[in-house]
Amino acid sequence: MEIECFTLSMNQGTFLKEAVDSILDQSVSSKYLVYDAGSSDGSRDFLEEYRSGEYSKFFVDGDLGPSDGLNFGLQNLSADIFYYLNADDRVLPDVFAFVLRYFKDNPSCDVLHGSINVIDEFGRKARVLPSMHFSLRGYALGYSFVYQQATFIRSRVLRQVRFNLANKVSWDGELIVDLALAGASIHRTHVVLGEFRIYDASITGSGKYRVAAQIQHKRISRRILGRDPHIIELYQGLFIRIIKAIVRRIRPRIEYLQ
């Protein structure tokens, strides 16, 4: 069993080395492709020269957005497990060995997701986000999410599923919804698997796509429920989010690999 990793790179050269090293320094080897969609900040030169021969590179001068690049990764997927990491995030040490053991011990598992560290632009841990039980209804009502930096997917369930090119802000969440709608078995672990970097220039940190994200979430919610959520359901979702936030703060259920 083998993991295949995919990293999207677009003018994030400041953090690219950390992302690449976090994958190449795992205790078990993996297939690894870095896809650059037209960086102009020196990232391409770095990728051509850095640790040459330890991973593959693919360069294009523009595409249709992150979903397009990720679909390229899926089209060329040949390993058992798929994992993708943004060029400004990191995966924690020894995670791949843990993930391979989990999938081997749990053959019915199609998707494994875990907890994450939130880090700042300097790589310092700001807080921890424990993994949540995922459900379609929970996603529709805003209280159940999966963290992309800590998500691993069996290739067998990705044969007929692709990232939505029209979704420019929450393509990762929609993919999980599509997999769940198709009947994928989604497992979670309390182990911290990845690190999500939030800084002023990032999509999440800048907040400039917040309205677009809300529009996409409403659309996906309609797909799940077959209708718009009722007002009482929205209040229920808000109440559950508040309770979950309190519980995570008081008694977070997280584990770290030793």
All structural domains of the chain with their residue ranges: 3-250
In whole angstroms, give the CA distance from residue 158 to residue 162. 7
Using CA atoms, how far apart are residues 171 and 66, in angstroms rounded to an integer? 8
Quick one: the chain helix, strand, coil %, rounded to 5?
40, 20, 40
Residue 187: phi, psi to the nearest 5?
A: -110, 155
**Where does 3-250 sit in CATH, by number?**
3.90.550.10
Query: Chain-centre distance of CA 130, in angstroms?
Result: 14
Q: Hey, how many other C-beta atoms are within 10 angstroms of the C-beta on 163?
A: 22
What is the DSSP code string of 172-200? Answer: HHHHHHHHHHTT--EEEEEEEEEEEE--T
Q: For the chain, 258 residues long, give each residue's pLDDT as a single digit of tens.
A: 999 999 999 999 999 999 999 999 999 999 999 999 999 999 999 999 999 899 999 999 988 889 999 999 999 899 999 999 999 999 999 999 999 999 999 999 999 999 999 999 999 999 999 999 999 999 999 999 999 999 999 999 999 899 999 999 999 999 999 999 999 999 999 999 999 999 876 666 556 688 999 999 999 999 999 999 999 999 999 999 999 989 888 888 899 997
DSSP bridge partners of 125? 119
